[in-house]
């Protein structure tokens, strides 16, 4: 099966000025050489703590942020090598939905105008057909056609999230990047949204890159999961192996930190990490996780671990797994 999207060694370092007279430029290492592939109708869960580069990853893939290095291939074309008008065309196939259902909708526009905007931007259809299309999309996401004339403030958080989804879907994309789409919602509304996303995946043959800090949500929606720490993917695997037999010490402690909604498991042994995430301005040498790692060895403070394939499709970047087969991301489209 060919891949819908291939991300190859994608990096983004944000320059920060280090003072007025400083010659040396400093960088925030927001994202470092992340690689993954995603097939059609698949969901990749991107999980990690705040500041680990999840959102930078999503915006760089869309080319909302220019990457420092790396490639993104979408439907067999290199997104960064295209001419602007080609890129615009190709980007119709990738859409994004954001976390904040209050800040992402223009309060002065009606729902109709908001949802139809992508069609206007890409000059698709005439007035009547656009209207029809908007109507169809609103019904698809569980709203009513009569909601078209209303404004965003008349809707609850969950409904606004649906409006945003309708706007993203109106161009019939192949890939949706969902950046924390449910973290502002209550559990009961969150369940509605997650079910809707799953149903639409079936109906419209969508792939998702699903970003969340909530490990439960990620487990529910994803086919494979990438765990990020300080800008790097430390482990990537299909969802069940990752949750049942996590390999990287960070994944292990992350999973055991999640409070389990079952009081009988209250006294299970948990691996609680010490300290905080270091600043991405000055990431630790060697393995970036070594400052908090319970299994830190001598080598970890000096050498950056290679990514190795320890089991089938289960990649991990950690010195504990030296016997794994060295894994180099294949060059896209070869």
Hey, which residues between 302 and 321 contact other proteins (CB under 8 A)?
none
Give CA–CA dist 67/89, Å, rounded: 20
Indicate whether 276 belongs to the interface with other proteins (CB under 8 A).
yes
Record the tokens describing residue 333, joined without a space. 């489209």
Q: How many CB atoms lie under 10 A from the CB of residue 33? A: 16
Sequence-ordered strand ranges (E) for the chain:
3-16, 26-39, 43-47, 69-74, 77-78, 94-97, 175-179, 207-212, 224-229, 232-238, 307-311, 314-317, 325-326
Nearest in space to 163 (alpha carbons), one of 184, 134, 195: 134
* Closest residue by Cα to residue 112 from 88, 135, 85: 135
Identity of the residue, 158 or 324, whose beta carbon is nearer to other proteins in the bound complex: 158
Which CB sits closer to other proteins, 66 or 274? 274
Q: Min. distance of Cβ 24 from other proteins in angstroms?
A: 24
Which stretch, 65-73, 102-110, 173-181, 209-217, contacts other proteins (CB under 8 A)?
209-217
> Binder to other proteins among 65, 194, 200, 320 (CB under 8 A)?
194
Decide: is 217 part of the binding site for other proteins (CB under 8 A).
yes
Nearest CA to 289 among 247, 237, 240? 247
One of 1, 17, 20, 50 touching other proteins (CB under 8 A): 50
Selected range binding other proteins among 7-15, 80-88, 146-154, 218-226, rule: CB under 8 A: 218-226
**Between 120 and 260, CB nearer to other proteins:** 260
Does position 221 bind other proteins by CB under 8 A?
yes
Does 258 participate in binding other proteins (rule CB under 8 A)?
A: yes
Q: According to the binding rule CB under 8 A, does residue 154 interact with other proteins?
A: no
**DSSP class of residue 65?**
S
- Under rule CB under 8 A, residue 220 binds other proteins: yes
> How far is CA 13 from each of CA 19, 76, 160, rounded to the nearest angstrom?
18, 26, 33
Please report, as ranges, the residues that interact with other proteins according to CB under 8 A: 49-50, 156, 158-159, 186-192, 194-195, 198, 213-221, 243, 253-254, 256-266, 270, 272-274, 276-277
């Amino acid at each position: 099966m060919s891949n819908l999207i291939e991300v190859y060694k994608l990096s983004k370092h944000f320059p920060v000025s280090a003072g007025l007279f400083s010659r040396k430029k400093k960088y925030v290492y927001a994202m470092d050489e992340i690689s993954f592939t995603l097939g059609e109708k698949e969901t990749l869960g991107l999980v990690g703590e705040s500041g680990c580069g999840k959102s930078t990853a999503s915006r760089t893939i869309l080319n909302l942020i220019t990457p420092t290095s790396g490639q993104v291939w979408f439907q067999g074309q290199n997104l960064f090598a295209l001419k602007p008008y080609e890129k615009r065309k190709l980007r119709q196939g990738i859409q994004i939905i954001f976390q904040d259902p209050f800040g992402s909708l223009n309060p002065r526009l009606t729902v109709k105008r908001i949802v139809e905007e992508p069609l206007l931007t890409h000059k698709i259809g005439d007035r009547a057909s656009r209207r029809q299309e908007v109507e169809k999309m609103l019904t698809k996401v569980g709203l009513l056609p009569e909601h078209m004339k209303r404004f965003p403030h008349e809707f609850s958080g969950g409904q606004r999230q649906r409006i945003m989804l309708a706007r993203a879907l109106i161009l019939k994309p192949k890939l949706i990047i969902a950046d924390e789409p449910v973290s502002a919602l209550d559990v009961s509304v969150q369940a509605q949204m997650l079910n809707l996303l799953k149903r639409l995946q079936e109906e419209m043959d969508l792939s998702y890159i699903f970003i969340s800090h909530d490990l439960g949500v990620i487990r529910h929606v994803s086919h494979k999961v990438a765990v990020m720490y300080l800008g790097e993917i430390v482990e990537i695997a299909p969802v069940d192996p990752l949750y049942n037999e996590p390999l990287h010490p960070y994944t292990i402690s992350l999973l055991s930190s999640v409070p389990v909604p079952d009081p009988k498991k209250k006294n299970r042994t948990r691996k609680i990490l010490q300290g905080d995430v270091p600043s991405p301005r000055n990431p630790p040498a060697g393995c970036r996780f070594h400052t908090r790692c319970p299994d830190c060895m001598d080598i970890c403070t000096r050498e950056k671990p290679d990514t190795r394939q320890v089991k089938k499709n289960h990649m991990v970047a950690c010195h504990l797994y030296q016997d794994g087969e060295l894994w180099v991301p294949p060059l896209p489209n070869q």
